[in-house]
Amino acid sequence: MKNVLVTGADGFIGSHLTEELVRQGYNVRAFVYYNSFNSWGWLEHSPENIKSQIDVFSGDIRDPYGVKEAIKDCDTVLHLAALIAIPYSYHSPDTYVDTNIKGTLNVLQACRELNVEKVVHTSTSEVYGSAKFVPITEEHPLQGQSPYSATKIGADQLAISFYNSFNAPVSIIRPFNTYGPRQSARAVIPTIITQLANGKKQIKLGSLHPTRDFNYVKDTVNGFIKVATSQRAIGEVINIGSNFEISIAETAELIAEAMDVEIEIVSDEQRFRPDKSEVDRLWASNEKAKKLIGWEPSYGGREGFIRGIKETASWFSIQENLKNYKADRYNI
């Protein structure tokens, strides 16, 4: 792995991954979403010594010609570009098909034509839906409980089909609920933290009973690099999760404790998913990741989660970071 393309490099996980790859000495091309502001998303906030080493390519993952141009001269592609907000997928499902499925096809086809040595496609724990058994292994059935998860299942199957049909060097990384600095306020942990950091005591949330397996962003980034550099990962789907289950209600309590505030949780109807679309339980088995690629979480278990929450809350509490968020609005 020498010349690496990261799609979705302007996003939450993508920006952290891009920075870490630069720190480790790789030549990194960052595919960011073209916009008239010439914004590089979260890469705008990268340290100058890192930002100066990144080759930024502005484009649209839905455009096969631009995607192929971005991939030229790269031996490894880490494909993270996607639409990921579940509520917005109820609102505009067509854009999810174009971005998540067609965008992934564009990446796979270009990598095949250009003989790229390794492709890492990003999946999501949402493809499993509500757990039928726990901890969830990679053999768990896939269930499309939202338009978002349905398109990610489609993208995953395309990636697998290129491995089976063309012997493409594809690996699928399946992160569970990643959290940390820079995460969008559409996610539950930043939703809670940004409200508290803005002085709110009544916190608006949706369902409190679902459980999640939260994975700190540093661990997720390490998982990407482990998958990308492992030949054993080719043709495999690999969970990246902490193997620790916690409810949304208890998560809110731990955040309040970490930020030393008393909170009252208020149910906000617009934040609830449709009944059959709610994923009630996610809990990752990470045994395959440990055995196949030697990955395990540094922020695992309850102690690791508390440590990650404190680091995340500390970042969001800095006014320069907090001002990027509209905590008084519901972000779909």
Average pLDDT per consecutive 10 residues, the chain (332 residues; last block may be shorter): 95 98 98 97 97 98 98 98 96 98 98 98 98 98 98 98 98 98 93 91 87 98 98 98 96 94 86 90 98 98 97 96 88 76
Protein fold of 3-179+215-240: Rossmann fold (3.40.50)
**H or E element that contains 18:** helix 12-23
First to last CA, the chain: 37
> Contact at 8 Å (CB) between 107 and 51?
no
> Distance between CA 187 and CA 189 in Å, rounded?
6
Q: pLDDT value at position 161? A: 98
For the CA atoms of 72, 218, 98, 106, what is the dihedral angle to 10 degrees? 20
CA gyration radius, the chain: 19
Three-state secondary structure string covering 60-109:
CCCCHHHHHHHHCCCCEEEECCCCCCHHHHHHCHHHHHHHHHHHHHHHHH
pTM: 0.97
Q: Is 260 left (phi over 0), alpha (psi -120 to 50) or beta?
A: left
Pairwise CA distance, residues 30 & 43, whole Å: 9
Contact between residue 170 and residue 236 where contact means Cβ atoms under 8 Å apart? no
- List the domain boundaries for the chain: 3-179+215-240
> Minimal CA–CA distance to 71: which of 18, 171, 3, 166?
3
